[in-house]
Chains A and B, each alone.
Chain A
C-alpha cells in the first residue's frame, strides 16, 4: 500500500537530489564527513534518521530492502523502518541478506559476504571519531584536513594504560584508504575487517549531526592500533547454540529467570540460513531445554 500524500520514499525529489550530491561527494572522498541539510523525519533521532534519509535518497522502485538492528530483522526499530519504506515507497522487503539490494543497519555488518549490487547503509549517532578528546569542531576539522591523527592514538593509549589492552569494543576507529580516520558507527570491532575491500558500497548517515560519509567498494580500511598492541577483532570463544557456527559474532542471551545464558548468532538471518542447510546444535553441548530443572 502506497500512501499517495507522500512522494516516493517520503522525501521530495529536491531533498533527495541534495542528499545524493552529498553521497556522491562522500564517495569521491572516502571517509570524509560531508555536511548535508538533514531533514526532520517522522521518527525520533535515535531511530536512525540519518540512515533513513540516505536509504530514501538511493532507493528505487525495484530495490529490495533489508533492515537490521544489532543483527536482527525483528526489533521494533528494524520493523518500523521496514514498514516505513513499504508504506512510502512500496518496495519489496526481505530478511535474507543475499536477496537485498539495500541493507540499512544499526550496529552490525551482516556475516554473509556482500556483493557489488548491494549498498549497506549505516545509522550513525556520532560521526566524529576525534570528538571525545577534542570537542571543538573547528579543531577536529583542521585535524582531518591536515591528517593530524596523533590524538586518535592518545585515545588508544589511554585504553591500554587503563585496562592493559585496547578496550574499545565498539565504534573502533578506522582509517580509510590511508587517509581519513573514520568512526565506523557503533558496530563491534569484530566487524571492522568486513569494511575493508568490501564489494558493496557502504554509506553512513548521521541525522542529528547532519553528516554523510562513505566507503566505496573495494577500499582498504584499516583499524588503528599500536605495533605492540595490534588490533584484534573480538568474539566470544564459543559456538552458536542454534547453528553451531564458530566464525560468527555471538550475542549472549539470558534464557530464563534463573540467569541461564546461551550464545547465539547475532545475525539472525545468517543463523536461520545455516539451520536451513542442516547445521544444528553441536552434539557435545546440551540442548537449550536441558538446562531447565
Chain B
C-alpha cells in the first residue's frame, strides 16, 4: 500500500451565482481511509462531494488524484473521456436516491454488469457470474438476478447500487447519505455491510451524512461543515468525543442521544 495521499483537494470553492455553496475546503485522503463529512442541511456537504467527484466544476481550487499507474493528475485538466473512464472504473458514487444511481428498467444483473461491459467485457457468462457473485456479497438472493430494482425494497436497492459500483474494484467511493430515507433496522444492516465491504476491499471512501452515528460507525476521520465552510476536522472519535468548536459540541449533544 502506497503512503502518498490518494486524493488531495486544495481550496475548493463553489458559488451558485451569489449563493455560496462551499468555501476553501481542503483535504487529503489516503488509501483505504474512510472520511465522513457532516453538518446541517445546506452546510455544503453535497457541494463538496460533487466537486471532489468531478460532477460539478469548482469556482476555485483543484482536486488531485493518484492514478493506478502512480502518476498524480489534476482532475480538471484531464480530458473528459479519461475522467469519465476513471469515474466508472476506479471510482464509485452511491446516491442517496437509488433511482439516480440505478437503471430502474434493467435487471439487477444488467445493473451490476454494466460497468464490466463498459470496460469491454464481452463474455456473457463471465459477466453474469460476476454479477451473481456481487449480489451474494451485498446479501441479495441470487434468484433475484433477473428482476429489476423496481421490484426491490429500499434497502435492497441501496445494496444493489453498492454492488453496481464495486464490481470494478474501485479504489475510491463517494457516498451521499447512503442510509438516508431508510428504516432504522434497514439502515443498521446497510451500515454493517458497508463497513465490512469497505474494510475487506480496503476502499477509500468519502461519506456525506448528517447522522453522527453513521459517521462514528464508518469513518476514520471526520470533517464538520457549517455555512459552506469546514469548521473542524480530525479523527472521528476525537472530534466526536471532544469537539473543539461550539457548533460541533451542539451537534454532538443534540444528535447523539444517550
Q: Which A positions have Cβ atoms within 8 angstroms of B? A: 133, 146, 148, 150-151, 153-154, 157-158, 160-162, 225-229
Q: Which of B117, B122, B146 contacts A154 (CB 8 A)?
A: B117
B123 within 8 A of A: yes
Q: Which of A133, A162, A228 contacts B123 (CB 8 A)?
A: A228
**B:129-166 near A, CB below 8 Å:** 145-146
Question: Known interface pairs A154-B114, A157-B127, A226-B123. Does A162 touch B146 (Cβ–Cβ under 8 Å)?
Answer: yes
User: Bound state CA distance, A151 and B84, in angstroms?
Assistant: 14
B234 within 8 A of A: no
- CB <8 Å contact, B107 and A161: yes
Q: In the assembled complex, which residues on chain B have CB atoms less than 8 Å from the CB atom of A150?
A: 114-115, 117-119
Question: Known interface pairs A146-B81, A148-B118, A150-B115. Does A157 touch B123 (Cβ–Cβ under 8 Å)?
Answer: no
Query: 1/0 contact trace for B80-96 toward A, CB 8 Å?
Result: 11001000000000000
B103 within 8 A of A: yes
Q: In the assembled complex, which residues on chain A have CB atoms less than 8 Å from the CB atom of B110?
A: 154, 157-158, 161
Question: Known interface pairs A150-B118, A228-B123. Does A157 touch B113 (Cβ–Cβ under 8 Å)?
Answer: yes
User: Bound state CA distance, A225 and B84, in angstroms?
Assistant: 24
Report whether over half of chain B's contact residues are helix, strand or loop; otherwise say mixed: helix
Distance from A209 Cβ to chain B, minimum over Cβ atoms (Å): 21
Question: Known interface pairs A148-B84, A148-B118, A161-B146. Does A227 touch B107 (Cβ–Cβ under 8 Å)?
Answer: no
Q: In the assembled complex, which residues on chain B have CB atoms less than 8 Å from the CB atom of A226?
A: 122-124
Q: In the assembled complex, which residues on chain A have CB atoms less than 8 Å from the CB atom of B191?
A: none
Q: In the assembled complex, which residues on chain A have CB atoms less than 8 Å from the CB atom of B128?
A: 157, 161
Distance from B167 Cβ to chain A, minimum over Cβ atoms (Å): 12
B105 within 8 A of A: yes
- CB <8 Å contact, B106 and A154: yes
- CB <8 Å contact, B114 and A227: no
User: Bound state CA distance, A158 and B128, in angstroms?
Assistant: 11
Distance from A119 Cβ to chain B, minimum over Cβ atoms (Å): 34
We find that the number of chain B residues with CB closer than 8 angstroms to chain A is 23
B125 within 8 A of A: yes
- CB <8 Å contact, A153 and B122: yes
- CB <8 Å contact, A154 and B103: yes
Q: In the assembled complex, which residues on chain B have CB atoms less than 8 Å from the CB atom of A162?
A: 107, 146
List of 6 A-B pairs having minimum Cβ-Cβ separation, nearest first: A150-B118, A153-B117, A150-B117, A226-B124, A146-B81, A154-B110
- CB <8 Å contact, B109 and A161: yes
User: Bound state CA distance, A146 and B84, in angstroms?
Assistant: 9
- Chain A residue at minimum C-beta to C-beta distance from B124: A226
Q: Which of B80, B84, B105, B122 contacts A133 (CB 8 A)?
A: B105
- Chain A residue at minimum C-beta to C-beta distance from B148: A158
- CB <8 Å contact, A227 and B117: no
A-B contact pairs, 14 of them (CB 8 A): A148-B118, A150-B115, A154-B106, A154-B117, A157-B110, A157-B127, A158-B106, A158-B107, A160-B124, A161-B110, A162-B107, A226-B122, A227-B123, A228-B124
User: Bound state CA distance, A161 and B142, in angstroms?
Assistant: 13
Distance from B91 Cβ to chain A, minimum over Cβ atoms (Å): 15
- Chain B residue at minimum C-beta to C-beta distance from A225: B122
User: Bound state CA distance, A280 and B16, in angstroms?
Assistant: 76
- CB <8 Å contact, A151 and B114: yes
- CB <8 Å contact, B114 and A228: no
Distance from B237 Cβ to chain A, minimum over Cβ atoms (Å): 41
Distance from A227 Cβ to chain B, minimum over Cβ atoms (Å): 5
User: Bound state CA distance, A225 and B122, in angstroms?
Assistant: 8
- Chain B residue at minimum C-beta to C-beta distance from A157: B110
Q: In the assembled complex, which residues on chain B have CB atoms less than 8 Å from the CB atom of A227?
A: 122-124
Distance from A157 Cβ to chain B, minimum over Cβ atoms (Å): 5
User: Bound state CA distance, A150 and B127, in angstroms?
Assistant: 12
Distance from B108 Cβ to chain A, minimum over Cβ atoms (Å): 10
Question: Known interface pairs A151-B114, A153-B117. Does A228 touch B107 (Cβ–Cβ under 8 Å)?
Answer: no
- Chain A residue at minimum C-beta to C-beta distance from B121: A153
Q: In the assembled complex, which residues on chain A have CB atoms less than 8 Å from the CB atom of B81?
A: 146
Distance from A168 Cβ to chain B, minimum over Cβ atoms (Å): 14
Apart from A133-B106, A146-B84, A228-B123: 14 A-B pairs, beta carbons within 8 A: A148-B84, A150-B114, A150-B119, A154-B103, A154-B106, A154-B114, A157-B113, A157-B117, A158-B106, A161-B110, A162-B107, A162-B146, A226-B124, A227-B124
- Chain A residue at minimum C-beta to C-beta distance from B109: A161
User: Bound state CA distance, A154 and B123, in angstroms?
Assistant: 12
User: Bound state CA distance, A151 and B110, in angstroms?
Assistant: 9
Q: In the assembled complex, which residues on chain B have CB atoms less than 8 Å from the CB atom of A148?
A: 84, 118
User: Bound state CA distance, A146 and B124, in angstroms?
Assistant: 24
Q: In the assembled complex, which residues on chain B have CB atoms less than 8 Å from the CB atom of A151?
A: 114, 117-118
User: Bound state CA distance, A161 and B110, in angstroms?
Assistant: 9
- CB <8 Å contact, B105 and A157: no
User: Bound state CA distance, A162 and B103, in angstroms?
Assistant: 16
User: Bound state CA distance, A150 and B87, in angstroms?
Assistant: 14
